[in-house]
Amino acid sequence: MSENPVTPVHPGPNEKCNCGSGKKFKKCCGSPKGVEPPVPLTPEEEAALERRRTRSMNKLLPIIALASMAPPIPPMRTRHPGQGKYGGGRNR
C-alpha cells in the first residue's frame, strides 16, 4: 500500500482558523508573527544607498522640470452639449 502524504489545508484569510480559536485565519495563525525587524545598514551600505538615490533623483530632475513647463491638460468633457443628465439624446 502506498500512502499519500496529506498536505495541511489553510483556510482563506477571512475564514475561521483551523486551531479552533474562533478568530479569522489572518488575525490568528495566518499573521506574520515571526517576522524579524530589518537589520540596520552599515555606514558603507548607507552611503551606497544615498549615492543611488542621488543618481536616480538627478535622472528625474530634468523630466520633472519639463513636466512643470508643459501646458496644463484641459479637463475632459463627460457630456456633449444638449445631452441630459444621463447622457441620452432625447427624453422619451
pLDDT tens track for 68-77: 887 877 777 6
In a domain, 81, yes or no: no
When divided into structural domains, the chain yields a total of 1
Band (pLDDT 50/70/90 cuts) for residue 55 is: very high
The dihedral sign for the CA sequence 35, 40, 45, 46: positive
Domain limits at 60? Answer: 42-68
Residue 60 falls within a domain, yes or no?
yes
Please give the average per-residue pLDDT across 27-33, as a whole number. 74
Q: Is residue 23 one of the residues assigned to a domain?
A: no
**Residue whose C-alpha is closest to residue 30's, from 51, 6, 13:** 13
With respect to residue 58, please indicate whether it lies within any of the assigned structural domains: yes
Is residue 59, in this structure, part of any structural domain at all? Answer: yes
Residue with the three cell numbers 489572518: 26
Q: Does 50 fall in a domain?
A: yes
CA neighbours closer than 13 Å in the CB half-sphere of residue 40: 2
60 φ/ψ angles, rounded to the nearest 5 degrees:
-80, -25
51 domain residue, yes or no: yes
For the question of whether the overall pTM of this predicted structure is more than 0.75, the answer is: no
For residues 26 and 24, what is the distance between their CA atoms, to the nearest angstrom? Answer: 6
Distance of alpha carbon 85 from the chain centroid = 35
Q: What percent of the chain has pLDDT over 90?
A: 20
